[in-house]
Structure 1
Amino acid sequence: MNLYRNPSKYTMTWLMTGVVSISLLSGCGSSASKDAAGASIATPEVSQASDAHANHVHTETTQLANGDIQETTASLDVLPSFLDGLPEKIVLAYQAAAITRDTLAWIPCYCGCGGSAGHESNLNCFIAEVHEDGSVVWDSHGTGCDVCVDTVLQTVQMKQEGKTVKEIRAAIDDAYRVGYAKPTATPMPT
């Protein structure tokens, strides 16, 4: 059974354990240090997940006009190389998007990417498309956007709690309606 196509309760439990662990460990802080002049220097946290996919073959990389990178990999099991060296929370968000893409297709993103990147849902912040042959076009947009990452992780948490897609959609809409950018034009779940 391919866990990325049909996530089991075990997989969702493991993923949520990671979400909770990352939340507890990272808090609201940043992993930056200072150089001699006092300027912030990003110090990426290398995760086991990114190490695990670092040796996989990546097939195609394209830089979009908005600066995002799209990388095609052989399957949902192979994460894109642009995740190498990034914080574990971001890698976890991409893993979450891979196993909850049917739900994320109904969840809007409130970061403004509908206008700036043409995204249709929160899913597009991580995955542009999955081809018939199983290859995946990943989008780097989610690597630099807390709204995107938090939305996918909140979606996974609510799914684990047994909420329906409609309930998850309502909760995300309520959470981001005020103080965030215009949402993507994501249709309501049926």
Structure 2
Amino acid sequence: MKKLKFTSLLLSGILAVGFVSGCSSNKEVVKLDPKHKPLPDYVLNTSEKIIETYTMAATYPEVVASVPCYCGCNEQDGHMSNLDCYIDQMGPDNEVQEWDAMSIS
């Protein structure tokens, strides 16, 4: 019985910490690594959310590449994954050499 109470209490504590940290207003700011080509004006002249999305695509290309392209651009542009909608060309060290404007619209 004591073990069940302890387990329940421990689980409640973990959930409470997770909830509080999930609701925190502290937001990690993701900055574009200088190894990448700077974001173009067509990205910088949009919302903060789009700028953040392009930055995250460059920061985590393997994650974005695992998501299939779902907007239909793959039929006309040959996109293989969602990464192709953000980045047109990457170098050997995963540095962005050319951006793609497809995700602006």
Q: TM-score, normalised by structure 1?
A: 0.35
User: Per the alignment, do residues 123 and 84 of structure 1 end up closer, same or farther by CA in structure 2, a change over 3 Å counting?
Assistant: same
Counterpart position of 1:95: 55
CA separation in 1, counterparts of 2:96 and 2:75? 26
Counterpart position of 1:79: 39
Match of 1:118 among 70, 78, 81: 78
Matched pairs, number: 77
Structure having the larger proportion of residues in helix: 2
Structure having the larger proportion of residues in strand: 1
Question: Is the partner of 1:14 in helix, strand or coil?
Answer: coil
Asked if 1:140 corresponds to 2:105, the answer is no
Counterpart position of 1:34: none
Alignment of 1:38-187 (within 5 A): 75-76=35-36, 78-132=38-92, 134=95, 136-144=97-105
Task: List alignment gaps of at least 5 residues for structure 1.
Answer: 1-12, 19-48, 54-73, 145-190
Determine if contact 1:75/1:136 at 8 Å carries over to the other structure. no
CA shift digits 1:95-127 (9 cap, x unpaired): 110111011111102110110221110001001
Task: Report the identity percentage.
Answer: 32
Counterpart position of 1:159: none
Structure 1 ranges of 4+ moved more than 4 A: none
Q: TM-score, normalised by structure 2?
A: 0.60
Amino acid at match of 2:70: Y
User: Per the alignment, do residues 113 and 135 of structure 1 end up closer, same or farther by CA in structure 2, a change over 3 Å counting?
Assistant: closer
Counterpart position of 1:188: none
CA separation in 2, counterparts of 1:135 and 1:104? 14
- Decide which structure has the larger Cα Rg and report it: 2
Task: List alignment gaps of at least 5 residues for structure 2.
Answer: 1-26
Amino acid at match of 2:68: P
Alignment of 1:9-20 (within 5 A): 14-15=28-29
